[in-house]
Amino acid sequence: MPKIESSEKLFFSLLGKRMSDDELVDIFPVAKAELDGHDEETIKIELNDTNRPDLWSSAGVARALKTYQSGKIPEYPFFSRKGDEKDSGGRSVIDDESVIGIRDYSIGFAARGCKVTNELLIDLIQSQEKLCSNFGRKRKTIALGIYRSNLIKYPVHYSAVDPDKTKFVPLGMEKELSLREICTEHPKGREYGYIVSDKPLFPYLYDDNNDTLSFPPVINSDRIGAVEVGDEDLFIEISGPILEDLLLTASILSCDMYDMGFEILPCKVHLSKDTKYGRDITVPYYFQDEAECTIDDVEKKLGLKLSADECIKALTRMGVEGRVEGNTIKIKCPPYRNDFLHAVDVIEDIMIGHGLMNFTPVMPSDFTIGRLSKAEEFSRKVKSLMVGLGFQEMIYNYLGSRKEYVERMHVSEENVVFIMNPMSENYEVVRPSVLPSLLESESVSAHAVYPHKIFEIGKTCVKDDSDVSGTVTRNTLGFSVSDNRVGYNEVSSYVNTLMYFLGKEYSLEAVDGDERFIPGRAAYVIYKGVAVGIFGEIHPQVLESWNIEMPTVACEIYIDKILE
Amino acid sequence: MDIDVKKLHPLEVKLLRHVPLGRKFSHEDIMDELGYKVGQCNQAFSWLEAKGLLKEVSRRKRTLYELTEYGVSIGKEGLPAERIFSYLKENGAHTLPEISEALSLEQSDVGSAFGLLSGGKSVRLNEERKAECISSELPGQVKGQRALLDKAKESHLLDEAELTQDEKKTISQMAKKRGALSSPFKLVEKEEIVYEMLPEADEVKKELEKAHITGEEFGLLTPEMLLSGSWKNGTFRPYGVDAPTSRLIPGRTNAYGEYLTWVKDKLTSLGFEEFDGPLVENEFWNGDALFMPQFHAARDIHDVYRIKDPVHVKYIDQPWLDQVAKTHEDGWNTGSRGWGYSFDHEFTRRQVLRSQGTVLSAHQLTKAKVPGKYFGVVRCFRYDQVDATHGADFYQTEGIVLGNDVNLRNLLGLLKMFAEEIAGAEEVKYVPGYFPFTEPSIEVHIKHPKLGWFELGGSGIFRPEVTKALGIDVPVLAWGLGIDRMALMHLGLDDIRELFTPDIEAVRTRRGN
């Protein structure tokens, strides 16, 4: 979930008024936001909707709240659309065809008329970060640069260039580096260079004077790309492989900046290839389709009959312009949003706009029969027998280390399910057996009064080629007894008692070659001709590996196999 | 007086009644007179001392000589010197090895005994190197030893204080402190303590007499007493009914497991049927079927555990695969515009550990009945640093409700029911939420009597992109409850890792509130 920090001064000025924390807590849910903290001059906000990047900025949250409270949809007059191009005043970006397959698009727009203050700069950098890292998947699909427009000679060129021959002084450094050098020597290069480093040519942005703007998506130049407090003329550039994501990002940022007091100056973009919007577009560009839902859908989904008028009013509070055509509500998506995939998305906005508190809860009236799973019912029977036999039920984690599940058990790892990307070696194996869990208990419980009689009914997982997944998850009973006099006979008696009361006739077969047990003192439990479990005296070499100084016997039974 | 005479132990009672005020007594006295064992004396003395009824008067060191088994046997059969002397008297002169052979004595014993006898001028070696008697009397030293053995015959014990100087000298050669197996005596140094009763004991004694408590009352009722009827001839000693009890270790269910069981029972009582599934899932069910785009940030490598081998599931069941893929690409016939990207058929087969319980709700859709209510309390795995609030694996409680006419207000009703029945909520508040697979989405916050306001769960109506692609044409309410927090509170814990602790003592002593 994205979290933002907003300067109190900036936030309340965008909102047009001050609000108390209590008022904020009450109103925030309409933007699926939560007040995460408010100290001195900073308001911390957590945003829950990962499909609404327009809300990840002070201006975005303020806009949603202001619109909700005022019922007035803000206007953004600078958007071009197909057949309605705004004046680009000679500003343009030319994407060269060489970027295709490398990083297909770069688009931009300019803004002026508002002196960049410290708070504003921090806020802009934060928006840039949130959009690029969360929405843009750590700059992979969206990278955004802010430049000093007054230093740029348009048109701006976007090309793929030789990474070894192209050099410039990157922001934060003093000497000229080649693009390839930046990838290894500049901190941002080490962080983001991988996105393009395997390409034959690297993306490069420069103006008509051959002055560098940036090496997207990595780093700006130290001159045109070094925006400072006091600047008034800015150029915003966005690059990435998916055009709609870039257009939406440009729209979000232009609306935010407009709300902050900037004048938005459109810019013509000559794309690297033909798109559904054409080859030449003017940015910011309104690209969204209309969405709709029927009034019947609203009632069916929300369980409340709302009039067309009520629906339109609710949508307006959400900043969504709607109109009624017969039984259908058609909406114009706000330029900074692109999350209306389905009628249900429109309906949700109607729900929030109408106010969730206006929907009274009603119990579902269908009659259904409650039922536990067969495995759960059987497990409970087993559990009650184990408790009756004096055992303490344990509950263990299912992830552990190779050391615990393989090495200390003296078993082969052939059938063990490993995690490819473990976070730490402590959690890199899915438990193949309950026995290591029980032995871990023994290894940490020497202080507890003996005898120890413990059990768990839980899941274990091993490789099994007969399943499409190549693995099988088994409901497994494991139990162990540790005491200074304990042996095979005792564990065999428990198995016998358990199976008797479960009504399962079984036979035993000597185990050969299982290093977990003392040879000649372990048996397979055979039920209907199949081995459904194993038990015996734990081998001292295993006990030693676990640092257990008490003789231990243990048993494991795959209860799914005796369930039928 | 603050001593309840009924709570006194019979060992105390008998002692109190037996010893008059002013008398000085020791362990031995009481062992002789009341037949107590040493341990019983120790118990009775220390209990009474702690109660302020008895005090130590003095203690002195005593050196005692205990007759060993060897001492007993030579006392009866004779000292080696005595036996050799009488053998020679009866059978005439013999060589030392012959004597050793005839009397079954070690050569060394014969040697040292001969030394004694010849030193005392009772025997000598003649020209043939044979031993022969030269006197009719045993040497004084041997006689001294004999006298000591005889003196110890009855009590097996000699007190150094009662021995003469000569006797002391003799016995010191016959005794050893350690390794006394081959010596006639073992030297034991003891401390003898002398006690006397304090004046308060007299009051207690009077109380005991008044209450007719003799210390001879019955303790345990035995089968023999029942059989013989002897119980009729006495009274039973009253017990201190509030005496500390000994610890029992029962077979028990796990307190956390018990809580989960309770939640399951609650849900079945509300008409829900349980589902479950394997731990190893694949990207298809873990994300694609829930309409999470494959490029979604939450599906990065650092958000889900992948399986090393096999990396991929062999195949995904149809028609679900094609329908879900189409839905992602262009919405298929779900009424959605889709995500507008090209569905990755290899990625979708990638195997992962189930990261959310909703996965099983998706599975359930393909086999659900309408109307239907389903739930699962299932283990999930999240790619997170393990700490007090994040476990490597943990339980999630999730479920779905299918019905021709279920809607948002039913969802709110359902949440209210959970809030009241399962969480015991005092107040319920709903706020819009966000989940990729539900629209609308609702979070339910509750005011818990102990925990205050917190988020009980997330819920919503499954997106048609989820349900239609999995063959369901009716609305489906989906919900998940965060019961961990309530479980922790129920168990009086504040660290989620404690729920899964391997520590046997911690689990044994844990109970639910």
Tell me: the pLDDT tens digits for A56-75?
999 999 999 999 999 999 99
Q: What is the pLDDT of residues A311-341, one digit of tens each?
A: 999 999 999 999 999 999 999 999 999 999 9
Q: Least CB-CB distance to A370: which of B269, B403, B415?
A: B269
- A388 vs B contacts (CB less than 8 Å): 251
Q: What are the counts of helices (DSSP H) followed by strands (DSSP E) for chain B?
A: 19, 16
Residue A379 DSSP symbol: H
Highest-confidence segment of A175-189, A375-389, B9-23: A375-389
**Distances in Å between the alpha carbon of A198 and those of A101, A102, A217?**
12, 10, 14
Other C-beta atoms closer than 10 Å to the C-beta of A306 total 20
Q: How far is A354 from chain B (nearest CA, A)?
A: 12
Say whether A348 and B331 touch across the interface (CB within 8 A): no
Q: What is the pLDDT of residues A218-258, one digit of tens each?
A: 999 999 988 888 889 999 999 999 999 999 999 999 999 99
Residue A116 DSSP code: P
Assign B476 a pLDDT band (cuts: 50, 70, 90).
very high
Residues in B closer than 8 angstroms to A389, CB to CB, are 251
B408 neighbourhood in chain A, CB within 8 Å: 301-304, 351, 359
pLDDT band at B91 (very low <50, low <70, confident <90, very high): confident
Which residue of chain B has the CA closest to A137?
B297
Q: List, in order, residues 6 or more apart from B486 with CB less than 8 Å away.
A: B422, B423, B448, B451
Q: Look at residue A136 in the predicted model and tell me its pLDDT.
A: 87
Cβ-nearest to A369 among B271, B301, B461: B271
Using CB atoms, pick whichever of A362, A389, A453 lies closest to residue B413.
Answer: A362
Chain A CB contacts of B300 below 8 Å: 137
B residues 223..252 contacting A (CB < 8 A): 247, 249-252
Q: Does A421 sit within 8 Å of B301, measured CB to CB? A: yes
If residue A23 lies in a helix (H) or strand (E), which one and from where to where?
A: helix A21-27
CB proximity A22 to B under 8 Å: no
- For chain A, the average pLDDT equals 94
pLDDT of residue B63 exceeding 60, the answer is yes
Q: Which residue of A has its CA nearest to B505?
A: A448
Per residue in B366-416, pLDDT (tens digit) is 999 999 999 999 999 988 888 888 888 889 999 999 999 999 999 999 999
Q: Which of B480, B476, B440 is nearest to B458 (CA)?
A: B480
Interchain CB contact of B268 with A (< 8 Å)? yes
Cβ-Cβ contacts under 8 Å, B296 against chain A = 50
CA distance A267 to chain B (A): 27
Mutate to test the interface with B, among A276, A471, A546 (most CBs of B within 10 A): A471
For residue B430, give Cα distances in angstroms to A89, B364, B413.
50, 27, 11
pLDDT beyond 80 at A263: yes
CA distance linking residue A332 with residue A302, whole number of Å: 21
**pLDDT (0 to 100) of residue A188:** 92
Point out the residue among A388, A393, A398 whose CB comes nearest to the CB of B257.
A393
What pLDDT is stored for residue B180 in this prediction? 65
Q: Among B257, B260, B258, which residue's Cα sits nearest to residue B483? A: B260
A26 interface with B at CB cutoff 8 Å: no
CB pair distance less than 8 Å for B463 and A48: no
pLDDT of B378: 94
* pLDDT at site B165: 86
- Closest partner residue to A445 (CB to CB) among B261, B403, B503 is B503
Query: Residue B240's pLDDT band (boundaries 50, 70, 90)?
Result: confident
Smallest CA–CA distance, residue B308 to chain A, in Å, is 4
Q: What is the pLDDT of residue B305?
A: 93
The CA distance from B284 to the nearest CA of chain A, in Å, is 12
Which positions in chain B touch A367 (Cβ < 8 Å)?
Answer: 271, 371
Q: Does B313 touch chain A (CB under 8 A)?
A: yes
Q: How would residue A546 be classed by pLDDT, with cut points 50, 70 and 90?
A: very high
A357 phi, psi to nearest 5 deg: -70, -10
Spell out which residues of chain B touch residue A483, defining contact as CB-CB under 8 Å.
none
- Residue A276 touches chain B, beta carbons under 8 Å: no
φ, ψ at B33 (rounded to 5°): -85, -35
From B489's Cα to the closest Cα of chain A, the distance in A is: 18
Please tell me the predicted confidence (pLDDT) of residue B302.
65
SS3 at position A230:
coil
Q: Mean pLDDT across the stretch A556-563?
A: 95
From chain B, pick out residues whose CB is under 8 angstroms from the CB of A396.
500, 502
pLDDT at B323: 97
CB A546 within 8 A of CB A562: no
| Residue A458 per-residue DSSP state | E
In B, minimum Cα distance to A357 occurs at B430
Q: What is the tens place of the pLDDT at every residue in B402-454?
A: 999 999 999 999 999 999 888 888 899 999 999 999 999 999 999 888 888 88
CB contact under 8 A, B410 and A399: no
Strand ranges across the sheet with A291-294: A291-294, A328-332, A321-325
Task: Give every CB contact of residue B414 below 8 A, 6+ residues apart in sequence.
Answer: A363, A364, B401, B459, B477, B479
In this prediction, residue B127 has a pLDDT band, given cuts at 50, 70 and 90, of confident
Query: Up-side HSE of residue A129: CA atoms within 13 Å toward CB?
Result: 12
> B493 vs chain A: nearest CA distance in angstroms?
15
pLDDT at B68: 87
Give the gap in angstroms from C-alpha A210 to the nearest C-alpha of chain B: 36
Tell which B residues from 464 to 483 touch A, by Cβ distance under 8 Å: 464-465, 475, 477
Average pLDDT across chain B, whole number = 89
Please indicate whether, in this complex, the C-beta atoms of B335 and A343 are within 8 angstroms of each other.
Answer: yes
Contact B505 A468 (CB under 8 A): no
Residue A553: pLDDT over 70: yes
How much of chain B, in percent, has pLDDT values that exceed 70? 99
List CB contacts of A379: < 8 A, sequence separation 6 or more. Answer: A457, A475, A477, A559
Q: What is the pLDDT of residues B31-45, one digit of tens each?
A: 989 999 989 999 999
Residue B1: per-residue pLDDT: 54
Pairing of strands B393-402, B372-381: antiparallel
Beta carbon pairs, A and B, within 8 Å: 276
pLDDT over 80 at B181, yes or no = no
Q: Give residue-wise pLDDT tens across range B264-287.
A: 999 999 999 999 999 999 999 999
pLDDT at B18 over 80: yes
Mean pLDDT of A534-561: 97
Q: What is the ipTM of this complex?
A: 0.91
Taking CB atoms and an 8 Å cutoff, what residues of chain B touch A50? 296-298, 434, 436
Instruction: Give the pLDDT mean for B120-140.
Output: 84
B373 vs A303, A368, A372: nearest CB? A368
Decide if A423 and B504 are in contact by the 8 Å CB cutoff.
Answer: no
pLDDT grade, residue B227 (50/70/90)? very high
B313: nearest CA partner in chain A: A469
Of residues B293 and B6, the one with the higher pLDDT is: B293
Q: Is A446 at the interface with chain B, CB within 8 A?
A: no
List the domains of chain A with CATH numbers: 3-70 (3.30.56.10), 92-283 (3.50.40.10), 291-358 (3.30.56.10), 374-562 (3.30.930.10)
How many C-beta atoms surround the C-beta of residue A281 within 10 A? 23
Share of chain A above pLDDT 90, in %: 89
Token couple for A333? 């998506």
CA-nearest residue to B350 within chain A is A469
User: How many angstroms away from the CA of B44 is the closest CA of chain A?
Assistant: 29
Region A123-143 average pLDDT: 89
The answer to whether B401 contacts A364, with C-beta atoms less than 8 Å apart, is yes
